[in-house]
Structure 1
Amino acid sequence: MQRFKALVVDDDSNVREIIRIFFKQQQIDIIEADQGLVALELVERELPDVIILDVMMPNMDGFEVCREIRKKFDIPIIMLTAKTEEFDRVLGLELGADDYVTKPFSPRELVARIKAIFRRMQPKSNNEIAEMNSITFEDISINIDRREVLVRGEKVILRPKEFDLLVYLAKSTGNVFTREQLLEHVWGYDYIGDIRTVDVHIKKLRQKLHSLKKECLQTVWGVGYKFEVEG
């Protein structure tokens, strides 16, 4: 993996030191912040390749920092938290985090998750792109080459994994996929995040495709999800 720059945001200097030492061994450049406002300034100035973001910080917690970053940047974010409740994990994903690691954590696991994120971000091969250039129904059109989605003629902005998930489901209209299958095919075999990632992305897609006459992303209770539209 090529050299890249990580922003580590944590008010605990010991945590930052552990990450700093291990990242140096992995040839990962690191910049640090001990509070949210400093982190936002560094994101603007340094444009890091990935952000490791602690949740529990004074004045401005990690959720708020994540929310502010997502207003302008699509930089991968891994939430670092001592909280284990499902609500907190899902909230981080809903705010735009790509993954999370629960304290206490292994620096090796943290690096593995970063590498997994960058592998998922790699562009598809020409054969994969050429497999199907566009998918069109009555109210929705998906152009795979341009990674563009139009709903009733209006462009809808999707994040990379939201687009990939929509395309995968739309290519197999009517077929039902479990969450595990979607994680495997959309996120990749090596994805080690929360299975609820799929639910969060489906929820986001439904919100962004709200102007469709009929909901195309349908829940099949006890199984998973499918894409189905009329026309």
Structure 2
Amino acid sequence: MFNSKILIVDDEIQILKLISMLFKKEGFNKVDFAQTGADAINYITKNNYDLVLLDVMLPDTSGLEICRGVRQNSDVPILFLTARNSDIDKVSGFAYGGDDYITKPFNPLELIARVKAHLRRNINYKKEYEPSRSIFDNGRIKIDYDAAVVEVDNENISLSAQLFQLLKFLSTHPNRVFTKEQLFENLWDSPLYGYDNTVTVHIRRLREKIEKDPSNPELIVNVRGLGYKFVGGSL
């Protein structure tokens, strides 16, 4: 984990100094810093990062637009840093492809905890092929859990680490109903505390990837008043 390469993008020099100090203290030494969107894009183009900490408001562009561009070619975990704290801002961040949302001023311990959590998930997501691996295949969707490969109608589907973990969790518990609270606590390692839109947005993004018609899902369905369940056979 501590060999992970991280990019931090923020136009406030004091924020960069604070995060730099925190990361060095925690043993993260492969860290690049950018203060503009142009510099961030330049870094991302030339390097393979394990995590990007991205300010939403930059002097030359929006962090949301950078995230959308990155998502065309990469599933690197992206954590937004922002002074905004409304639910709609959070939903916008997730809709653009972000994996988490940290509000300024932030608790340094929480920031480090979230960074480590996402790095752990990404490491597990990228783990190398193992000979004895577990595969789900119902004829339409095929999920290789150990290789982290998903195929829908024989077409390879690219999922971010967070979306893959959501699909894995639901598909390994077929036909079982989970509330938003249960999904959040199992996948984000913390109580919901008002972040129910996080689950909704990730479910929608996953449906857009694997459903024939995301508006009329057949694999991940709503159970009115209760939550969501994966319908598609058993492992």
Bin the TM-score by the shorter chain. Answer: 0.7 to 0.9
1:30-109 to 2 correspondences below 5 Å = 30-109=31-110
Please say which of residues 174-183 and 209-218 is displaced more in the overlay: 209-218
Q: Which residue of 2 aligns with 1:6?
A: 6
The answer to whether the Cα contact below 8 Å between 1:100 and 1:193 also exists between their aligned partners in 2 is: no
Q: Which amino acid aligns with 2:18?
A: I
Q: What is the TM-score of this pair, normalised by structure 1? A: 0.84
Letter in 2 for 1:32: F
Task: Give secondary structure in 2 for the equivalent of 1:123.
Answer: helix
2:166 — aligned with what? 165
Q: What SS class does the counterpart of residue 124 from structure 2 fall into?
A: coil
2:226 to 204, 213, 223: 223
Structure 1 residue 149 corresponds to structure 2 residue 144: no
Q: Is the 8 A contact 1:206 1:215 kept in 2?
A: no
What are structure 2's unaligned runs of at least 5 residues? Answer: none
What are the superposed Cα offsets for residues 136-185 of structure 1, whole Å, 9 maximum, x if unpaired? Answer: 32432323344333323333222222222223222322210112222333
Matched to 1:226, the amino acid is: K
Q: Which residue of 2 aligns with 1:123?
A: 124
Structure 1 vs Structure 2: percent identity of aligned residues?
Answer: 37
2 CA distance for matches of 1:21 and 1:140? 45
- CA distance in 1 between counterparts of 2:19 and 2:222 reads 40
- Give the paired residue count: 229
Displacement of 1:102 in angstroms is: 0.4
Alignment of 1:174-185 (within 5 A): 174-185=175-186
Residue 28 (structure 1) aligns with: 28
CA pair 83-222 structure 1, distance change in 2 beyond 3 A: same
Instruction: Look up the equivalent residue of 1:86 and give its one-letter code.
Output: D
Task: Go from structure 1 to structure 2 and tell me whether the alpha carbon gap of 1:98 and 1:14 turns closer, same or farther (over 3 Å shift).
Answer: same
Q: What is the distance in 2 between the residues matched to 1:35 and 1:167? A: 36
Cα distance in 1 between the residues matched to 2:156 and 2:164: 13
- The residue type equivalent to 1:59 in the other structure is D
Question: Are the structure 2 counterparts of residues 85 and 187 from structure 1 closer, same or farther at C-alpha, using a change threshold of 3 Å?
Answer: closer
